[in-house]
Amino acid sequence: MALTGAISTFAFAPYSFTLLPVLTIAILCYAACCSSRWQQAAWLGFSWGLGYFAAGLNWVHIPIEQFGGLPLLLSLALLLLLSAYLALYPLLFALLAFRLKAHSMLPLYLAAAWMLLEALRSWFLTGFPWLSPGYSQTDSILRHWAPLIGETGLTFVLVLSAAALMQLLAKRQFWPTALAVLLWLSAPLVSHWHGWQTTGETLDVALVQGNIKQELRWDPALEVSTMRLYLELTQPHLGTPLIIWPEAAIPRVEILAEPYLFELDAILAEHGSSLVTGIIEYNFYTEEAWNSLITLGKRRQSDAGGHYQPRHSNRFEKHHLLPIGEFVPFEDLLRPLAPIFDLPMSSFSRGSFAQHNLLANDHKLLPAICFEIAFPRQLAANFQQDTGLLLTVSNDAWFGDSIGPHQHLQIARMRALEFGRPLLRATNNGITATIAANGRIQQQLPQFEAGVLTDQMQLTTGQTPYSRYRDWPLWYCSLLLLLLAGWQSRRKPA
């Protein structure tokens, strides 16, 4: 079963065998339902999940080994420990499949169970919703459902389809397969109700990829050269209305970088440009630090000059912090144990869950830093009717030449689909890309090269059903389905 779970990795970017989850999840359902004891079903679910997450998240060990100071075997052991925790969710799913296997509505019950377990996984211990099956569908026919039911809804359809396939082959039960086929074939039709439309306006953008090696990013001796590099890459594109630099592009804390920021602010305003850049915000009085985005240059097109001031409100502070990388739980206990618990910039404060959109040259941008883009509920909480674009900045240099950055880009594409807005993704070393409101990649830069991506974004307006109602309708339906399953089980034990 571990091999079956591991094969599921090929459903996601950069491989994108989009039908694969239907087969591999069907095998998991069949194995759990055919188990003779609940302990066997639990072990099969855990084995499947261990293979699924260990293979799909194999890139996690790279920063642990290369930058965390741990040997390869220990870094792989930590990867297996993380995978073992995440495998508890397929274990619970397999137990439910074993318990409910006699019910005629089993495919619906299993789809509801998986969806609620994914919701729990995205919340518990701050949440880690990576490799949710729906992300594999950014290029499949199912993508048309995303503006209505989101990635979680696509996951529901995938698990329903997998359980229906299992029921068709094992019990010759046809109605679940008919329902699944209907959902797949009707996907292009529902695209007419995606809720957004183009405005007829376009926006020229420039996304800068500095390609600074991870081991050099926080070297004090290289701060000036890094800031000079970003300025030199940007200068030919001054006059572009919106310019984006990636996460922590400026390697000096904001209060120490003020002379550079004021000079940059004036240059941008003189050329009619606005810049959004990542920077570390630090308060020397409280000794708190935030992973932030700030805006420089024109706030509104009518402004006579730049608007930057220290601590101005036109900024965003990261809310979803990465455990170990940006905060260390029980840090007094863990930090002395190993270098992995004492990485540079691993003690950030958390920004608010709800924050204002950034305003740049009269355009409102809804930001997310790094893996925050995997939390659609945060974006939905900050989405406004006049939000013009989604913006995500990241530094995937931690993960080298692995599948991690490709998966990260795929997650960003799903957010564009769900919210019906063009998305800009600026990263330190790739994959920097522009994404249309329909989730399609317009342009992208090669990885591991310094460069500037220029593009013209088609602006959109309106609200998708998903941005309006989020996951609540499917959560309620899933909860009702499981309550019905429990009631039926009490009346007639399986």
Q: Clarify whether 29 is annotated catalytic.
A: no
- CA-closest candidate to residue 279, choices 298, 254, 255, 262: 254
Enclosing H/E stretch for 490? helix 472-491
Specify the amino acid at residue 207.
L
Alpha helices in 135-277, H assignment, sequence order? 146-171, 175-185, 187-190, 223-234, 258-270
Q: Clarify whether 247 is annotated catalytic.
A: yes
**DSSP single-letter state for residue 238:** B
Q: Clarify whether 171 is annotated catalytic.
A: no
List the beta strands (DSSP E) in 388-440: 389-394, 423-427, 433-435
Angle at 463 between CA 461 and CA 464, to 5 degrees: 125
454 token code pair: 């220029």
Three-class SS state of 452: strand
Residue listed under structure tokens 């509104």: 300
The C-alpha atoms of residue 333 and residue 349 are separated, in whole angstroms, by: 19
Asked if 433 and 394 count as a contact pair (C-beta separation under 8 A), the reply is no
- CA-closest candidate to residue 239, choices 216, 273, 202: 273
The C-alpha atoms of residue 313 and residue 418 are separated, in whole angstroms, by: 28
Three-class SS state of 185: helix
Three-class SS state of 27: helix
The C-alpha atoms of residue 122 and residue 72 are separated, in whole angstroms, by: 28
Specify the amino acid at residue 136.
S
217 token code pair: 């990013």
The C-alpha atoms of residue 29 and residue 46 are separated, in whole angstroms, by: 13
Q: Which residues contact 344 (CB under 8 A, 6 or more apart)?
A: 218
Task: For the chain, state the CA radius of gyration.
Answer: 23
Catalytic residue among 65, 118, 151, 247: 247
> What burial class does residue 379 get, using C-beta atoms within 10 Å of its C-beta: 0-12 exposed, 13-18 middle, 19+ buried?
buried
Catalytic residue among 65, 317, 370, 418: 370
Specify the amino acid at residue 401.
D
Specify the amino acid at residue 473.
P
244 CB neighbour count, 10 Å cutoff: 30
The C-alpha atoms of residue 341 and residue 178 are separated, in whole angstroms, by: 51
- Sequence length of the chain is 494
The C-alpha atoms of residue 462 and residue 440 are separated, in whole angstroms, by: 19
Catalytic residue among 318, 326, 372, 418: 318
Residue 328 vs residues 122, 346, 348: alpha-carbon distances, Å: 19, 7, 9
Q: Where in the sequence numbering do the catalytic residues fall? A: 247, 318, 370
